[in-house]
C-alpha cells in the first residue's frame, strides 16, 4: 500500500494543481453550462426551473425564422470551403516547396506569415477588400476588378444571401493555408529518403512516386490538419464579427451565442454552446481515440 503511494504520490501531487484547475474551470463549468441549458433562465432574473431538453428542441423546431438551423447551414458552407481551401492550397504549396524551389525559406515565411495576424486585424482589412459595392460605388477588390476591366468578376461577396459564407471563408483560407503547408512540408520531410530511392530503383514515375509512396504516408498529417482547421472553423467568431458584424446574413452558432448572451437569455446561449461543444467533440474525439490506439500499439 505504502509503496504504491510512494510510486504514484509525487507524480499525482505534481499534476494535481493542473488537474484541479482543469476540473473546476473546464469540466466543472461545462457541467454548469449543461445545467443552465436545461433551465428556464431566459432573463437576467435568477431562475432554476428545470425544463429538460426543451431548450434544445426549441432551437431546432421553434426558433424565429429557423434562425439556429440557418446558422448551422452558414457554418456548414463556411467549414466546407475553409477545409477544402486550406487543404488544397496547403498541399499545393508544400508540394511546390518540396520539389526544391530556390529561396524556400523565404516562401515558407511568406506563406506562413498570415497566420501570425489575428483574425480581428485581418478581418478589418478583408472587410474593406470585400466591399460589396459594384460599378461606380465599387471599393476594395471590386474596384480593382473594375479598373482591370474585369467587371464580370465583381460580386457581392459576403452579402450574397445564398453563398455569402463562401466569401467569408476566403480570409480564413488565406490565413491558415500557410499553416497547413507547414504541416505537410514537415510530413514530406519525415519520409525517409530510402523510400524515394527504392521507388526510383523500382522504376516508378514521378506521378507514381507521389501517388503510391509519398501521399499515403501523409495521411496522419492530413488528418491532424483537418482536425486543427476543422475545430477552428466550428468555433469561428472573431473573423465574422470583424468582417460583417453580428447579423443574419453571416450568423454562425458562436455569433448566435454572443447575441443571445447580450440579451441575457442564458438558457438559450448555454444550449447553443453545448451543441457547439458536441459538434467540435464529433471532430476531435475520434481523432483522440485513434491517436491513443496508435500510441498503445507502438
Partner 1 sequence: MGRMRRAAVAAVGALALLSPAACGGADSGADQEVEVFTWWADGGEKAGLDGLVAAFDEQCDYSFVNGAVAGGAGSNAKQVLASRLQQGDAPDTFQAHAGTELSDYIAAGQIEDLSALYEEWGLTEALPPGLMDNLSVDGKVYSVPVNIHRSNVLWTNKSVLADAGITAEPTTLAELFTALDTLKAAGVSAPLAIGKDWSQLMLLEAALISDLGPESFTGLWTGATDWNSPEVTQGLENYSRLLSYTNTDRDTYDWTDAGKLLMDGKAGFFLMGDWAPSDFETKGFTDFGHLAFPGNGGTFQWLADSFVLPQGANNPEGTKCWLKTVGSAEGQQAFNIKKGSIPARTDVNEADYPAYQQSAIQDWKTGTQVPSCAHGAACSQGAIEAANSAIGKFSSDQDLAGLQQAMSAAAALGKN
Q: Tell whether residue 54 is a contact of partner 1 (CB under 8 A).
A: no
CA dihedral sign of residues 74, 88, 227, 118: negative
What gap in Å lies between CA 181 and CA 87, rounded to an integer?
8
- 49 is an interface residue for partner 1 by CB under 8 A: no
Name which of 67 and 231 has its Cβ closer to partner 1.
Answer: 67
Query: Is 98 a residue that touches partner 1 (CB under 8 A)?
Result: no
By CB under 8 A, residue 46 contacts partner 1: yes
Question: Taking the complex as a whole, how short is the minimal distance between the CB of residue 257 and partner 1, in angstroms?
Answer: 12
Closest distance between partner 1 and the C-beta of residue 264, in Å? 6
Tell me which of 137, 151, 197, 202 binds partner 1, using CB under 8 A.
137
The interface with partner 1 within residues 201-260 (CB under 8 A) comprises: 244-245, 247-249, 251, 259-260
156, 166, 210, 223: which one binds partner 1 (CB under 8 A): 156
Q: Is 61 in the site for partner 1 (CB under 8 A)?
A: no
Residue pair 279/273 in contact by the 8 Å Cβ criterion: no
Cell numbers linked to 47: 431562475
Q: How far is the CB of 49 from partner 1 (least distance, A)?
A: 12
State the nearest-atom distance from the C-beta of 247 to partner 1, in Å: 5
Q: Are 181 and 266 contacting, i.e. CB atoms less than 8 angstroms apart? A: no
Residue whose CB is less far from partner 1, 111 or 158: 158
* Nearer to partner 1 (CB atom), residue 32 or residue 113: 32
Q: Which residues of 159-173 are buried (b: 16+ CB within 10 A; e: fewer)?
A: beeeebbbbbbbbbb
> Nearest distance from residue 136's CB to partner 1, in Å?
7
Considering only 104, 133, 155, 222, the residue that binds partner 1 (CB under 8 A) is 133
Q: Could you tell me how many residues of this chain bind partner 1 (CB under 8 A)?
A: 30
CA angle (135 as vertex; 77, 149 as ends), nearest 5: 90
Distance CA 259, CA 275 (A): 16
Burial class (CB in 10 A: 0-12, 13-18, 19+), 269: buried
Contacting residue, 3, 18, 65, 298, with partner 1 by CB under 8 A: 65
What is the closest distance, in whole angstroms, from the C-beta atom of residue 155 to partner 1 in the complex? 12
Give whichever of 77 and 199 is closer to partner 1, judged by the CB atom: 77
Q: Is 109 in the site for partner 1 (CB under 8 A)?
A: no
Sign of CA dihedral 236, 241, 246, 249: negative
* Span of 60-68, 193-201, 219-227, 282-290 interacting with partner 1 by CB under 8 A: 60-68
Q: Are 39 and 267 in contact (CB under 8 A)?
A: yes
How is residue 218 written as a grid cell?
A: 501523409
Asked if 131 and 140 count as a contact pair (C-beta separation under 8 A), the reply is yes
Q: Does 44 bind partner 1 (CB under 8 A)?
A: yes
Q: How many CB atoms lie within 10 A of CB 210?
A: 17
Q: How far is the CB of 44 from partner 1 (least distance, A)?
A: 5
Beta bridge partners of residue 39, listed in sequence order = 50
Give the span between the Cα atoms of 249 and 119, in whole angstroms.
19
Q: Summarize as ranges the residues that interact with partner 1 (CB under 8 A).
A: 42-46, 64-65, 67, 70, 131-133, 136-137, 156, 159, 161, 244-245, 247-249, 251, 259-265
Amino acid at each position: 500500500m505504502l509503496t504504491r503511494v510512494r510510486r504514484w504520490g509525487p507524480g499525482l501531487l505534481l499534476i494535481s494543481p493542473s488537474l484541479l484547475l482543469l476540473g473546476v474551470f473546464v469540466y466543472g463549468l461545462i457541467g454548469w453550462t449543461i445545467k443552465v441549458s436545461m433551465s428556464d433562465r431566459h432573463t437576467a432574473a435568477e431562475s432554476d426551473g428545470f425544463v429538460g431538453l426543451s431548450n434544445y428542441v426549441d432551437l431546432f423546431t421553434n426558433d424565429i425564422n429557423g434562425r439556429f438551423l440557418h446558422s448551422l447551414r452558414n457554418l456548414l458552407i463556411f467549414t466546407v470551403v475553409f477545409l477544402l481551401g486550406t487543404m488544397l492550397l496547403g498541399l499545393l504549396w508544400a508540394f511546390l516547396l518540396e520539389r526544391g524551389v530556390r529561396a524556400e525559406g523565404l516562401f515558407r515565411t511568406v506563406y506562413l506569415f498570415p497566420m501570425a495576424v489575428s483574425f480581428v486585424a485581418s478581418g478589418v482589412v478583408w472587410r474593406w477588400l470585400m466591399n460589396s459595392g459594384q460599378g461606380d460605388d465599387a471599393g476594395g477588390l471590386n474596384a480593382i476588378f473594375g479598373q482591370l476591366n474585369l467587371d464580370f468578376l465583381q460580386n457581392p461577396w459576403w452579402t450574397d444571401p445564398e453563398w455569402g459564407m463562401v466569401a467569408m471563408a476566403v480570409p480564413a483560407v488565406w490565413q491558415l493555408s500557410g499553416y497547413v503547408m507547414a504541416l505537410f512540408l514537415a510530413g514530406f520531410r519525415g519520409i525517409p529518403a530510402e523510400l524515394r530511392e527504392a521507388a526510383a530503383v523500382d522504376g516508378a514515375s514521378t506521378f507514381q512516386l507521389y501517388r503510391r509512396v509519398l501521399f499515403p504516408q501523409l495521411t496522419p498529417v492530413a488528418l491532424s490538419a483537418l482536425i486543427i482547421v476543422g475545430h477552428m472553423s466550428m468555433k469561428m467568431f472573431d473573423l465574422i464579427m470583424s468582417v460583417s458584424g453580428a447579423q443574419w446574413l453571416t450568423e454562425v452558432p458562436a455569433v448566435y451565442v454572443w447575441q443571445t448572451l447580450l440579451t441575457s437569455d442564458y438558457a438559450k446561449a448555454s444550449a447553443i454552446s453545448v451543441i457547439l461543444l458536441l459538434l467540435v467533440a464529433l471532430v476531435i474525439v475520434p481523432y483522440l481515440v485513434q491517436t491513443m490506439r496508435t500510441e498503445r500499439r507502438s
